Amino acid sequence: MENKRQRNMGMYVCGGILFLITLFMVKVEMGKGHEVLLYSDFATHSSWAVGELTDPLYDKFYAYPVWHFLVKGIFAVLPIGREWVGALVTGVLLGFTAAVLYGFLWGQLKERLDWRVLCLLDIGLLVLTALYMPWFNREVYLGQSSPTIWHNPTNMAVKPVTLLAFLYFLKMYGERLETKARAFVGFSLLLLLSCFVKPSFLQGFLPAVVLFLLVELIRTRGESFLFSLKMAGAFVPSGLYFAFQYMSVFGEGAGRGIGIAPFAVMRLDTAHPGISILQAVAFPLFVLAVLGWKHLREDIPLLFSVIFYLVSLLEFILLIEVTEPASGNFEWALQLAMFTLFVMTAVRFFQKTEKKSWMVFVGNGLLAYHIGSGIYYYLYLLVGSPLQC
């Protein structure tokens, strides 16, 4: 009973804190219209949601309208204005993400960490960013990317769906010999929902699942074939809708195209792409090095998180919108994959009981650096002189 009370308390605390810090951030972003952040998307998305933008350029939002419809519906009911409604919707979604994440961390680490420490870890994982090293890049986010962004409503809105789908897939694969048909149906609906929120998650997740299942077919000598076949069926609805979304944006007559230009997008914001990649995932890389290849090969959840990250990173490195190279739209999937990578490596780091003292010091130091950079980034955007996201 005490354990259940502490778990519920942690979920409420983390959900409430993430709700509040998201609410304030988004309200500040929209409180000054289009000017507060040079690249903030909240003013545009929320204006379209309540019918204030009629430019055909924004018709693409019809393809992933969940955040917009939530804003539109609440805006019609509550007399609090577009800015507060947009902040409220986003805050609730990020608060829900924090609650779900705490439930997962509790299940994995309740024997290792006090519930209050788990709260700090939960919140840290949802605010951390790349190691801020201004001598390499004066920007915290641009150039390095980040598992935490504050400027795009739809990518923030798809974060809880990302976490649920990621954990759901791992659970299903772990129980693949007993997985019922209804689990595949539920997973299929969750994937389809993700496309209606923002297709970027499926952009990285689908090829990652395909690659992972191919690796597992070889490793299990075909034992996972039936599961893979059922999983392929689960991806059909979301895959078809994703194809429609792709054609609506990049199809013939859309006026936009995709090209291959390694590191071209990254070099727009950083002179050191390789170093920027290391800055972004320094803690996960340290944990993977400490655990070693043998552990990674046998740890299915960790292995899948690495594959998800590498696939999304490769997309970001290689692909470019030839008509709008600075948009960085192939970065969204990477941000979501980085989030799941940090979650899984943090869990494994704190589960590892035979760590040497220097491993504890370095690992905790790197994680604290990531979290500290995220706090600095949040405060910089909230109360500093935010000219860029």
Does pLDDT of 314 surpass 60? yes
Range with the lowest mean pLDDT among 19-33, 76-90, 223-237, 244-258? 244-258
pLDDT at 255: 64
Q: What is the distance, to the nearest Å, from the Cα of residue 47 to the centroid of all Cα atoms in its chain?
A: 24
pLDDT (mean) for 153-159: 96
64-82: average pLDDT: 94
Cβ neighbors of 246 (< 8 A, separation 6 or more) are 199
pLDDT at 268: 85
pLDDT at 59: 79
Give the per-residue pLDDT at 58.
77
> What distance in Å separates the CA atoms of residue 331 and residue 258, rounded to the nearest whole number?
14
> Measured between alpha carbons, how far is 164 from 197 in angstroms, rounded to an integer?
14
The full DSSP string for 72-98 is HHHHHH-TTHHHHHHHHHHHHHHHHHH
Q: What is the pLDDT of residue 1?
A: 63
**What burial class does residue 336 get, using C-beta atoms within 10 Å of its C-beta: 0-12 exposed, 13-18 middle, 19+ buried?**
buried
138: Cβ contacts below 8 Å, ≥ 6 apart: none
Per-residue model confidence as pLDDT tens digits over 47-65: 899 888 777 777 788 889 9
Query: In sequence order, what are the beta bridge partners of 321?
Result: 258
More confidently predicted of 383 and 222: 222
pLDDT at 42 exceeding the cut of 70: yes
Q: What is the mean predicted confidence (pLDDT) over 274-287? A: 96
Residue 261 scores a pLDDT above 60: yes
Confidence of residue 251 (pLDDT cuts 50, 70, 90): low
Task: Lowest mean pLDDT of 81-85, 88-92, 153-157, name the range.
Answer: 81-85
3-class DSSP assignment, residue 317: helix
Lowest mean pLDDT among 69-78, 275-284, 304-313, 350-359: 350-359
pTM score, whole prediction: 0.95
Question: Helices 66-77 and 81-109: crossing angle, nearest 10°?
Answer: 120
DSSP state of 259: E
Percent of the chain with pLDDT over 90: 68
- What pLDDT score was predicted for residue 167? 98
Answer yes or no: is pLDDT of 32 > 60: no
Average pLDDT on 82-97 reads: 96
pLDDT of residue 36: 46
The predicted-structure confidence for 324-361, as pLDDT tens digits, reads as follows: 776 778 899 999 999 999 999 999 999 987 888 999 99
DSSP code of residue 53: -
* pLDDT higher at 52 or 182: 182
Task: Please give the average per-residue pLDDT across 195-222, as a whole number.
Answer: 95
Answer with the residue of higher pLDDT: 176 or 371.
371
Which of the four pLDDT bands, split at 50, 70 and 90, describes residue 35?
very low
Compute φ and ψ for 239, nearest 5 degrees. Answer: -65, -40
Whether the pLDDT of residue 33 is over 60: the answer is no
Give yes or no for residue 125 having a pLDDT over 50.
yes
User: What is the model's pLDDT at position 353?
Assistant: 79
Residues in the chain: 389
Six-digit token string for 223: 């034992």
Quote the CA–CA distance of 24 and 382 in Å, as a whole number. 8
